[in-house]
Amino acid sequence: MIKTDEQKDRALDFIRQIIAEDLKSGKHQRPVTRFPPEPNGFLHIGHAKSICLNFGIKVENNGVCNLRFDDTNPSKEETTYVESIKKDVAWLGYDWGKRPFYASDYFPQLFDFAVALITKGKAYVCQLSPEEIRAYRGTLTEPGKESPFRNQSVETNLNLFKKMRDGVFGEGSHVLRAKIDMTSPNLNMRDPVIYRILKSMHHRTGDTWKIYPMYDYTHCLSDMLENITHSLCTLEFEDHRPLYDWILDTLDTPCHPRQIEFARLNLTYTVMSKRKIMQLVEGNYVEDWNDPRMVTLSGLRRRGYTPSSIRSFINTIGVGKRDSWIDMTVLENSIRDDLNGTAARRMCVLDPVKVILDNFPAEQVDEIEAKNHPQNPEMGNRLIPFTRELYIERADFMDNPPRKFHRLGPGREVRLRYGYLIQYVSHTTDERTGRVVEIHCTYDPETRGGSAPDGRKVKGTIHWVSAEKSSPVTVRLYDRLFTVENPEADKETHFVEHLNPDSKITLNNAIAEPSLIELLPGDSVQFERQGYFCVDPEESEEGIPVFNRTVTLRDSWAKKR
């Protein structure tokens, strides 16, 4: 669950200020909010902002927050998505009470409310085609035109609407429209469609219903039926608020929630549209919704992001009234800050080259003591095997190093992390490729722990693993999915053209110290000098971990800008 200290010292944003004033004035005894996802895909980091806002207000005020599925379009919705959404909300640390709610819970009542609107002369069945309805709607500068079916009798409309419900008509042939004002400057008020015919199997109600309510109609009435006090939604729904209020006012409902809009989350180097995320999945540009390169919550979870890091990120960016862009670095820093204090340190060589210590006994195995966390002694120490043959990173050796290269090379001495000082002797290369094959060195047995008794200074420290006592592992280096900050900015170029070809690099011959093999799926560690990694919870097996890079130690993109 949420740690209470996450709520301390939080400056009240404008929504929380409104709620605080409503509680102080006695307008409400406690806030009742809701998170209303449509189960037609997996949640992403943008949804996390709404989740943390709605459920956070509940936590902070001892209120209520309903998880309500907007399941009004059976042609696109699946039980799989329902379960994934529940998993994501629970993973973030939030509790929706005894049960989740569904818009489909209210289908009978929503139908009755529609009948009431027809009876009041405030709704009518229209037989214009979808194309004709759009044409009649008008533009931002021209008023709409009334449907020829707008003024038919209440009895006719009731009869037609019931035939729609009974499946008499085909899809697209009839709709129920609210009767408001075709000259309104707000296009949402120009007789919007509130019911359409869909003969698809619903994941909860089966084929009981042949008609389904539209979102704008369903949402306000679902809020009302659940006694929501504050209906929080993103800015694109600001122009829909008059319709929200009109439906509740026209029906004279006993509860009238207040809709409040806030800025959605725009994050660089990714796309936040569920439709575009679906294109990535269905086009096989990514593995699935939970691909670690995605900013879906399931993808971030698989990559190694923690619930606390996501909540910290949401707290950092805050809640405002104006759209803005958040740099991906802010999200990456949230997980760096979180894992820096909690992730144990380990050594893993990603691109190995062999080092042979000529003066180290061939059969000898030293047990080198290493700290699990340099700033947290409570995490204890571990023993790492040290042998004659080791692996180091290929990038930590140069045969003709520049003056400021403080790692291994001819004439150079370096410190092996937790181990000994070693001195270069010679190296061999592959005749065909010219790549270094082996590096021969000597070690100074008096320097165990990395300090020289004679006080000589060594600038470079590199990590290593035993060649004999360590294991090969698969490591995936994940990076940002797109190469540009806003993949959708160029309207002449399809956003997939900006996909980063290096967003996933798989290393099958990385070498890990023995303790890494014992980690469990989902465990996170820091590979010293490399970054933070987690054991892939989907594809790892016992004793055969697959490591996903969560984030580098520093912002590697800063150099590219």
- Taking CA atoms, 303 is separated from 298, 477, 532, in Å, by 9, 10, 10
Q: What is the rounded CA–CA span in Å between residue 295 and residue 290? A: 9
Q: DSSP character for 258?
A: E
DSSP track, 80-109: HHHHHHHHHHHHTT----S--EEGGGGHHH
**Contact indicator for 343, 524 with CB cutoff of 8 Å:** yes
Closest CA to 113 of 206, 258, 208, 250: 250
Catalytic residue among 150, 162, 204, 264: 264
Whether 38 is catalytic is yes
- Taking CA atoms, 13 is separated from 26, 76, 328, in Å, by 20, 35, 22
Sign of CA dihedral 476, 482, 483, 485: negative
Q: What is the rounded CA–CA span in Å between residue 444 and residue 360? A: 9
* 14 SS3 class: helix
The phi and psi torsions of 49 (rounded to 5 degrees) equal -65, -45
- How many helices (H) and strands (E) in the chain? 12, 27
Tokens of 316: 């950092």
One-letter identity of residue 230: H
Strands lying side by side in the sheet with 504-512: 344-346, 524-527, 531-535, 546-552, 471-478, 504-512, 348-349
Q: What is the rounded CA–CA span in Å between residue 7 and residue 4? A: 6
Q: What angle do CA 281, 45, 539 make, to 5 degrees?
A: 55
Catalytic residue among 34, 49, 179, 274: 274
Q: What is the rounded CA–CA span in Å between residue 54 and residue 544? A: 40
Q: What is the rounded CA–CA span in Å between residue 555 and residue 74? A: 43
**In this structure, how many other beta carbons lie within 10 angstroms of the beta carbon of residue 330?**
13
22: CB partners within 8 A, 6+ apart? 28, 31, 229, 230
Whether 274 is catalytic is yes
One-letter identity of residue 52: C
Closest CA to 221 of 186, 185, 191, 259: 259
Catalytic residue among 6, 30, 38, 407: 38
Q: What is the rounded CA–CA span in Å between residue 196 and residue 210? A: 9
How far apart, in Å, do the first and last CA atoms of the chain sit? 39
Q: Report the run of H or E that residue 348 belongs to, with start and end.
A: strand 348-349
Residues noted as catalytic: 38, 264, 274
